[in-house]
């Protein structure tokens, strides 16, 4: 299982990140200051570190020097949103940089992207009665191939990677269609209906009033 260390001194934010990462199938540990993080990193292996910059004890930049020396990928999580701050973070060796506040869907997508870059993601996912081969884009349900269009497959992946999270139609559209949502929900609704019907998941992919949809498992 992929192990992720969350280094964030604001406990509510850290706990929210942990809950969402664990729902997505990751194993998580937490550190709430730089010194604690340094001790944990010295004794455990992690596949990815989510690292706040402004930390008590040792700040994120100091920890970054050590993490890069042992080859651990890092995503900075920070309230510092100026261009110069982002450039400094990336030049320090961060693989990505997320500014607070952020949507959990965005955070999960960036985590997946960095892990994929380091060949740390699983190419096969299993949920309910479905197995998904991400690399070959093949979906099996109870061992039987389910033909999905490209967008239906991408929609299924989005739901699976964000299971039990309510996704706004805007979020779904911008992640699956990779373009700006203009307020027309018919495209999203049609594809969700087709995906439900093909998988028989009418009781699992549920509409969320005035928001969008959620895969409940």
The model carries a pTM of 0.69
DSSP 121: S
What is the residue range of 107's domain? 3-117
CATH number at residue 68: 3.40.50.2300
Pairing of strands 124-127, 96-99: unpaired
One digit per residue, the tens of pLDDT, for the chain of length 217 reads 789 999 999 999 999 999 988 888 788 999 999 999 999 998 888 999 999 988 888 888 888 888 888 888 999 988 766 656 667 767 777 889 888 888 888 898 899 889 888 877 767 788 999 999 887 889 999 999 999 999 999 999 999 988 888 899 998 998 888 787 777 778 999 999 999 999 999 999 999 998 999 999 8
Tokens representing 85 are: 């701050």
Whether 96 and 199 map to the same domain: the answer is no
CATH number at residue 191: 1.10.10.10
Q: Which of 52, 86, 117 is the last residue of a domain?
A: 117
Q: Which of 59, 88, 117 is the last residue of a domain?
A: 117
DSSP 173: H
Q: What is the dihedral of CA 6, 8, 11, 12, to 10 degrees?
A: -80
Instruction: State the total domains in the chain.
Output: 2
Whether 79 and 9 map to the same domain: the answer is yes
Whether 110 and 128 map to the same domain: the answer is no
Sign, CA torsion 132/138/143/145: positive
State the DSSP string of 19-39.
HHHHHTT-EEEEESSHHHHHH
Identify whether the C-beta of residue 89 lies closer than 8 Å to the C-beta of residue 66: no
Q: Which of 87, 117, 147 is the last residue of a domain?
A: 117
């Amino acid at each position: 299982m992929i192990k992720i260390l969350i280094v964030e001194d604001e406990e509510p934010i850290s706990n929210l990140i942990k809950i969402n990462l664990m729902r997505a199938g990751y194993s998580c540990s937490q550190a709430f200051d730089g010194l604690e993080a340094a001790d944990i990193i010295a004794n455990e292996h992690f596949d990815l570190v989510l690292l706040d910059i402004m930390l008590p004890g040792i700040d994120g930049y100091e920890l970054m020097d050590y993490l890069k020396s042992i080859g651990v990928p890092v995503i900075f999580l920070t309230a510092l949103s100026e261009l110069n701050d982002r450039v400094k973070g990336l030049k320090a060796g961060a693989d990505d940089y997320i500014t607070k506040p952020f949507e959990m869907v965005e955070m999960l997508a960036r985590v997946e992207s960095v892990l994929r870059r380091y060949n740390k993601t699983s190419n096969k996912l299993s949920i309910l009665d479905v197995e998904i081969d991400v690399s070959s884009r093949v979906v099996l349900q109870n061992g039987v191939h389910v033909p999905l269009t490209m967008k239906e497959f991408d929609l299924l992946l989005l739901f699976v990677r964000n299971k039990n999270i309510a996704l706004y139609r805007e979020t779904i559209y911008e992640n699956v269609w990779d373009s700006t949502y203009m307020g027309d929900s018919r495209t999203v609704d049609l594809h969700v209906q087709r995906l439900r019907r093909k998988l028989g998941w009418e009781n699992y992919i549920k509409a969320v009033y005035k928001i969008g949809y959620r895969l409940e498992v």
